[in-house]
Structure 1
Amino acid sequence: MRHDRDGAEKGRADRCRRRRAAAALLAAVVAAGVAGEAAAQGFQQAVPIPSTTKQSLTTIERSFNPAPPPALALFPDVHREMQDAPAFFRDARVELNLRSYYRDNVKNAPTGATVSEAWATGGWAAIETGRLFGLISGGAVFYGSLPIYAPPDFGNTGLLKPDQQGYAVVGQLYGKLHLSDSLDFIAGRYLYDTPFLGPQDNRMTPNTFYGYALQGSLGNPASGPAVRYGGGYIAAIKQRDSDVFVSMARAAGADVDRGVGVAGAVLTWGAASLGAIEYYAQDIINIAYGEAKYGVDLPFGLDGALAAQYADQRSTGANLLTGSAFATDQFATRLQLGYRTAILTAAYSVVDPGFAMQSPWSANPFYTDSLVLSFQRAGENALMFGLSYDFTPIGLDGIAAGIQYFNGWTSAPAAGAPLVEDEWDFRLEWRPDWKPLSGLWLSARYGLANTFQNNVTTRTDEIRLTLNWKVKLY
């Protein structure tokens, strides 16, 4: 009888999920239409599907690199009319990022079904001044997320607070000291983008940080070698579904207040890149990360890119994270072949058998990260195969799709009993190449994951529907 009840519960959960998915899809279509009317007035989770291997940036390539400004300005005349104003006002930027997000995660385990579901709306508004006396500027970013549909019993989606309540927070409030045209000192609340300390912007709002840093660049990437570099001390983090800042140590899981020292650099030269970053938290953890990538043009209109990454993690000082010393590492490599706007991807990763990998202040930066599973258990080997295609050349402007398959396995004692897990991910998106809708990004994703351990299979289905529209007012 128990098995019959469990099966019935799973069946009901599956039926509910399908009904919710259909309703959410309809809602997303309606929301897209509303956004289009208003306008007439990033293969990783946080970035769009790339059209070529050159656009498929690794996490190290994005490090210490400010995001490009939105392409669409709603009121361009305002900027032109301020050409004679002081630079502090003339060069100011005001940007909006409007976001609507539906997420439904259903986990079917032998003990029953667990559901996390919400539909939220919000995003952020940002303002950054021009330079005062050619030396100082500042900015602020206000973030918020409000529930549209948020059943109280289905929390922990990451779109809202764990109890399904909305939130609002000044996530960035910073000042910049411009030591030169290519060297800035930044202090306050700010967003940094590095492999193990980054925005993890795959929910409603990103991680942001409190601290200070020096960021700069040398050389010209268009004509020869160029270096971007950065370093500083980060004391606290506002996690993506929170409205408060907590110390970096507490965010990692230690019952103490500690910050993180960060230093690194990225060298780019044509189609090649090489970078390394070090993160050190006293008595908590040390993370060393390195990554290299090389791209090449091949015969018959093909192009390719080979990348490799490595991270070493170990406890430091008093071992306050786990109470005892630990050390682990992970290596991964990725090969991509492109033809016109199609990209075929294969990747492999392996984790040290002694301890699982940690990602306390960012998304998982490894190539085998998927929609549901991270494939970072102790001793886990993982393979990934993917295919993506941008349909613009055949007349479907801005539409792209992708499919990925992941398979992982480990028999390391630190991971428990021998385990095998796999996942299929599907993705469809639209980024219209039409000026009134420039900056609009609609995305639909579905993941199906299975984990087999101790003769038990756990299945997880996840649906994500997002509408993202980024513009600048002037």
Structure 2
Amino acid sequence: MLTGTVVAVLMHGAALAADAVPAPEPVSEIQRALFDDAALTLHFRSYLFDRDNTSGSDPAAWAGGGWIGYETDWISDVLKFGLVGYTSQPLWAPDDRDGTLLLKPGQEGYGVLGQAYAALKYEEQVLTLYRQLVNQPEVNPQDSRMTPNTFEGVSLKGELGLVGYYAGVLTAMKQRNSDEFIDIANAAGVNEDSDMFLGGLEFSPIDELKARTSLYVVPDLLASSYSDAIWTAPVAEDTKLRVSGQFMYQSGIGDELLTGPDFDAWVFGIKGDVIHRGLTLTAGYTGNGSDGNWQAPYGSWPGYTSMIVKDYNRAGEQALLLGASYDFEELGAKGLVLSALAAIDLDVDSGLPENNEYDFTADYRFSALEGNLEWLAPLWLRVRYAYVDTENPDDTDDRLDDFRVIVNYELQLHGSDL
């Protein structure tokens, strides 16, 4: 009985003491989203580009830079903000070797606020306003130099059941080696004002099958569509077959200011990959209609035969793709991948040169490093070499050698880590 009384008295005293000590202030939702759970990205990039071309200019430069990004977490699961500043500065840039697209014309460095957006979310639907990345088949970052393409406008993306969707109205574009946003029509080389209406759908009813389609329209300039499908299936132990096909069509519309009257173009492609453990063998084909060259002013051309230097998308052009890659993780060298690709002109309209391109790429990602070398884990080193053999209509030959070394190092921090 006495023991129970003592315990009761002690518990009552502890409760009074707890009431006397103020509880810690709860972290506000704003502070959590804008600081504690906000993300700071520091991405350093170094890029050496050296091209030797027997038929023309020999662009070369070495640039350093990258981007700094800040993104809040979702505020009340509804609102988010983000900013990304990009820069590219010359480290070695001879005046007489301009044209690498690593820098502004004249081998000049630049800096630009490439992304500045607010995003609103309702369940799985996200509305993004102002400067942003867009990653659709024909409208994309084209991140093959120092900084990517970015766009101004409004976009909505999300999922409706098994279908993912994207819809946007884009008004301006920052090209990958520029520090200014210009009108969508100006980005295509037309001195007018216009907007782009862009939409895309993705569908994957089963894990083995993925399909997508997209369309963009720029009034009085161009309408362009793209569709593809990828099917993957096991064929033996540790071996898979991946088959993909693509079709794209575009035409001038309205006043046809970009292409002139009666323009249309189409491309058909098919590709197959045999994947056995770390080894991938590739064969593909693309064929172009003969009415006009494919227009790709808003990003990388998505054709299977898009190579380091050449895009095989000229009028009447047919090209064969052959290649192989090997991931050395199977041999204990995680992060090391070597690849080789060849694109061979099978046919092209008369009067145009025939190009055969041979590409070699070595990638090493340091993500497997641990212990004292763990600080190197975000490092990605890429070395690329392309050789283009050109046979001209007058039976003369040209040669192009393209050599690149790209270094990426990215850190992502949160406010709670600081």
Question: Do both proteins adopt the same fold according to a TM-score greater than 0.5, normalized to the shorter chain?
Answer: yes
Matched, 1:239 2:155: no
Q: How far does the alpha carbon of each residue in 1:143-202 deviate from its partner, in whole angstroms, 9 at most, with x for none?
A: 00011000011011011112101000000000011122x111111000010111000001
The one of 125, 129, 132 equivalent to 1:183 is 125
- Residues 382 and 82 of structure 1, relative CA distance in 2, 3 Å threshold: farther
The one of 243, 250, 257 equivalent to 1:306 is 243
Structure 1 residue 418: deviation in Å? 5.1
Partner of 1:417: 351
- Mapped partners of 1:98, 1:332: distance in 2: 36
Residue identity opposite 2:43 in structure 1: N
Residue identity opposite 1:417 in structure 2: G
The one of 376, 399, 412 equivalent to 1:472 is 412
Residue identity opposite 1:100 in structure 2: S
* SS of equivalent residue, structure 1 residue 262: strand
Structure 1 residue 118: deviation in Å? 0.3
- Mapped partners of 2:158, 2:260: distance in 1: 38
Structure 1 residue 126: deviation in Å? 0.5
TM-score normalised to structure 1 length = 0.78
Structure 1 residue 407: deviation in Å? 0.3
The one of 175, 187, 196 equivalent to 1:260 is 196
> Which shows bigger deviation, 437-446 or 116-125?
437-446
Partner of 1:67: none
Matched, 1:371 2:305: no
- Mapped partners of 1:82, 1:104: distance in 2: 52
Partner of 2:46: 100
In structure 1, the gaps of 5 or more residues are 1-80, 220-225
- Residues 285 and 419 of structure 1, relative CA distance in 2, 3 Å threshold: same
> Which shows bigger deviation, 133-142 or 462-471?
133-142
Q: Contact 1:119/1:150 (CA < 8 Å) preserved in 2?
A: yes
Matched, 1:153 2:79: no
Q: Contact 1:255/1:320 (CA < 8 Å) preserved in 2?
A: no
Partner of 1:89: 35
Partner of 2:9: none
Residue identity opposite 2:117 in structure 1: Y
Partner of 2:263: 326
Equivalent pairs: percent with the same residue? 33
Q: How far does the alpha carbon of each residue in 1:116-137 deviate from its partner, in whole angstroms, 9 at most, with x for none?
A: 0000000001001122343211
The one of 209, 212, 218 equivalent to 1:272 is 209
Residue identity opposite 1:92 in structure 2: A
Q: Contact 2:378/2:410 (CA < 8 Å) preserved in 1?
A: yes
Q: Contact 1:403/1:424 (CA < 8 Å) preserved in 2?
A: yes
Partner of 2:396: 456
- Mapped partners of 1:466, 1:227: distance in 2: 36
Residue identity opposite 1:421 in structure 2: N
* SS of equivalent residue, structure 2 residue 35: helix
- Mapped partners of 2:277, 2:201: distance in 1: 32
Partner of 1:6: none
Partner of 1:344: 281
Q: Contact 1:83/1:90 (CA < 8 Å) preserved in 2?
A: no
Structure 1 residue 456: deviation in Å? 2.1
Q: Contact 1:143/1:168 (CA < 8 Å) preserved in 2?
A: yes
Residue identity opposite 1:197 in structure 2: V
- Mapped partners of 2:57, 2:268: distance in 1: 33
Residue identity opposite 1:87 in structure 2: A
- How many residues matched? 381
Partner of 2:341: 404
Structure 1 residue 346: deviation in Å? 0.6
Matched, 1:165 2:108: yes
Q: How far does the alpha carbon of each residue in 1:341-361 deviate from its partner, in whole angstroms, 9 at most, with x for none?
A: 110011100000110111110
Partner of 2:5: none
Q: Contact 2:318/2:348 (CA < 8 Å) preserved in 1?
A: no
- Mapped partners of 1:143, 1:205: distance in 2: 7
Q: How far does the alpha carbon of each residue in 1:328-386 deviate from its partner, in whole angstroms, 9 at most, with x for none?
A: 10011110001101100111000001101111100111111111111111000000101
Structure 1 residue 82: deviation in Å? 7.5
> Which shows bigger deviation, 120-129 or 319-328?
319-328
The one of 133, 141, 155 equivalent to 1:199 is 141
* SS of equivalent residue, structure 1 residue 297: strand
Matched, 1:426 2:366: no
- Residues 364 and 248 of structure 1, relative CA distance in 2, 3 Å threshold: same
Partner of 1:281: 218
Partner of 1:20: none
Structure 1 residue 322: deviation in Å? 2.8
Structure 1 residue 115: deviation in Å? 0.8
Q: Contact 1:410/1:419 (CA < 8 Å) preserved in 2?
A: no
Q: Contact 1:161/1:241 (CA < 8 Å) preserved in 2?
A: yes
Residue identity opposite 1:253 in structure 2: G
Q: How far does the alpha carbon of each residue in 1:361-417 deviate from its partner, in whole angstroms, 9 at most, with x for none?
A: 0011111111111111100000010100011221222111011111014342xxx51
Q: Contact 1:347/1:385 (CA < 8 Å) preserved in 2?
A: yes
Where is the helix percentage greater, Structure 1 or Structure 2? Answer: 1
TM-score normalised to structure 2 length = 0.88
Name which structure has the greater RCO, CA cutoff 8 Å, separation 6+.
1
Q: Contact 1:384/1:406 (CA < 8 Å) preserved in 2?
A: yes
Partner of 1:57: none
Q: How far does the alpha carbon of each residue in 1:299-347 deviate from its partner, in whole angstroms, 9 at most, with x for none?
A: 1421111001111010000111133230010011110001101100111
- Mapped partners of 1:83, 1:425: distance in 2: 53
Structure 1 residue 97: deviation in Å? 1.2
- Mapped partners of 2:357, 2:76: distance in 1: 55
- Mapped partners of 2:59, 2:104: distance in 1: 12
- Mapped partners of 1:89, 1:118: distance in 2: 38
Q: Contact 1:293/1:307 (CA < 8 Å) preserved in 2?
A: yes
Q: Contact 1:427/1:445 (CA < 8 Å) preserved in 2?
A: yes
Superposed CA RMSD = 1.6
Rg bigger for which structure?
2
